[in-house]
Amino acid sequence: MIYFDNSATTKIDPRVVDAMLPYLYEEYGNPSSKYYSLAMHAKDAVEASRAQVAKLFGCDSDEVIFTSGATESNNLILKGVMETYGGKKHSLAVSKVEHSSILEVAGYMEQRGMEVMYINVDSYGRVDETALAATLDIEPVLVSVQWGNNETGVLNDIRSMAKRCEERGILFHTDATQVVGKLETSPLERSVRFLSLSAHKLHGPKGIGAAIIRKDELGIKTKLAPLIHGGGQEYNYRSGTLSVHNIVGFGKAAELALLRQEEITIRLQELEEHLRHKLVELFPDIVRFNGDVTNKIPGIVNVQFRGTNNELLIKKLSDRYALSTGSACSSSKPSHVLHSIGLTLNEIRSSVRISLSHMNTIEEIDSFCAFLTAK
């Protein structure tokens, strides 16, 4: 099987597995227990991983809160901020092309009477400057805009958006799940107050991620109502016994991604360029790329094969190649991302997402293109 669905999840790196194994076999202590070495070893391993994840953004270790993944982080931040800071000024603003773990939370809050603004995007899927300015004028409590899109890879200038929010006393969150490990993310200004990410998108284990909750400009921890109450782990933001082996795996995946970050970015750009070039060469009349081809996360290619049905195409390929119609979390519905950038239903139904990893090869892309030509 040749795997081109790396935006859905990635293959775990064997070095990550090796780092995790001792914490499943020998080092099984509970990091919240005290006084004996088994617990202290587990605690030390958790703190070393926390420091490693913090390096992804150049933030402090105690700004990293381990969660079960980006879905939980998005829920914690959006619900936690609105519950803590909502007050009378009850509005939340999210872009129209967010992942379902943001949009579904926004919908849930709307049902509970909160005012939610959905920020328009331009024809590439990038948050529209005019729409953002109009949103900020209404002074929401929190603005949440993804760093990079999981279906098209299109990037937002979140640094500038966060600064504009900060100037107006508005909190800013970004879902960085797809960007981490593929592009430079450090150092990140404090104005990006909240971030979400997930280990399994960067060749780490599933079921572990982080919410990054930055301190304010005075170095004071940002308060947030927790989603999960209990023993007070994770600085009271997220209770529950820590999944030590997963945390260690996350730390190792972060370390490996950081070590080779520039190399990974260049490799992904090369692979993407090769794929685009081949597709245009082989199918000049039916291929059309969705979103922007520059200023994007390298390795995510969203492409229309005009006149084909994406589900049938993916099924036909499925014995040998793994790719998708879009987000794995809402794959049965036509893509809201492609709809927001103005594609017709027919265009959406002929679009597929090919998402690469630096572990893919030029030969795999050539084999895929040759197979497509034969079909």
Return the SS3 of 37.
helix
Q: How far is CA 79 from the centre of its chain?
A: 18
Q: Counting contacts by CB under 6 A, is residue 69 touching ligand PLP?
A: yes
> Binder to ligand PLP among 29, 140, 209, 298 (CB under 6 A)?
209
Nearer to ligand PLP (CB atom), residue 104 or residue 122? 104
Radius of gyration of the chain (CA): 21
Q: Which of 10, 52, 174, 198 binds ligand PLP (CB under 6 A)?
A: 198
Outline where DSSP puts E strands in the chain.
2-3, 64-67, 91-95, 115-119, 142-144, 171-175, 194-198, 209-213, 287-289, 300-305, 321-322, 351-355
Among 91, 178, 324, 357, binds ligand PLP (CB under 6 A): 178
Sign of the four-CA dihedral 213, 216, 221, 226 = negative
Give the nearest distance from C-beta 25 to ligand PLP in angstroms: 26
Part in contact with ligand PLP (CB under 6 A); list of ranges 53-61, 129-137, 174-182, 310-318:
174-182
Residue 150 CB, shortest distance to ligand PLP, in Å, is 3
The nearer residue to ligand PLP, 68 or 191, going by C-beta atoms, is: 68
Residues 6+ apart with CB under 8 A from 85: 141, 142, 171
How far is C-alpha 317 from the chain's CA centre? 26
Give the active site residues.
329
Tokens of 11: 């293959």
State the nearest-atom distance from the C-beta of 203 to ligand PLP, in Å.
14
Distance CA 223, CA 228 (A): 15
What gap in Å lies between CA 243 and CA 68, rounded to an integer?
Answer: 9
Q: Which two tokens stand for residue 247?
A: 């945390």
- Binding to ligand PLP (CB under 6 A) within 129-158 occurs at 146, 150
Q: Residue 189 half-sphere exposure, CB side, CA atoms within 13 Å?
A: 13
- Single out the segment in contact with ligand PLP by CB under 6 A; choices: 152-160, 170-178, 185-193, 212-220: 170-178
* Complex with ligand PLP: residue 27 or 292, whichever CB lies closer: 292
Stretch 308-367 residues interacting with ligand PLP (CB under 6 A) = 328-329
Binding residue (CB under 6 A) for ligand PLP from 52, 75, 91, 101:
101
- Closest by alpha carbon to 176, among 165, 192, 161, 160? 192
75 binds ligand PLP (CB under 6 A): no
CA end-to-end span of the chain: 17
Length of the chain: 375
Distance CA 316, CA 311 (A): 9
| Cβ at position 178, least distance to ligand PLP in Å | 5
Matching residue, tokens 């597995």: 17
Q: Is 177 in the site for ligand PLP (CB under 6 A)?
A: yes
Q: Which is nearer to ligand PLP, 43 or 73 (CB)?
A: 73
3-state helix, strand, coil in the chain (%, to 5): 40, 15, 40
CB of 214 to ligand PLP, least distance (A): 19
Report the run of H or E that residue 163 belongs to, with start and end: helix 158-167
CB of 87 to ligand PLP, least distance (A): 27
- Of 5, 27, 63, 175, which one interacts with ligand PLP (CB under 6 A)? 175
Of 103 and 279, the one with the shorter C-beta distance to ligand PLP is 103
Least separation, in Å, of the C-beta of 196 and ligand PLP? 7
Report the nearest approach of ligand PLP to the CB of residue 209 (Å). Answer: 5
Shortest-Cβ-distance residue relative to ligand PLP: 69
DSSP state of 181: T
- Candidates 69-77, 108-116, 154-162, 210-218: pick the segment binding ligand PLP (CB under 6 A): 69-77
Whole-number Cα distances in Å, 258 to 57, 253, 263, 289: 10, 9, 10, 30
Nearer to ligand PLP, 279 or 323 (CB): 323
Closest CB to ligand PLP among 10 and 27? 10
Contact residues for ligand PLP, defined by CB under 6 A: 69-71, 99, 101, 146, 150, 175, 177-178, 198, 209, 328-329
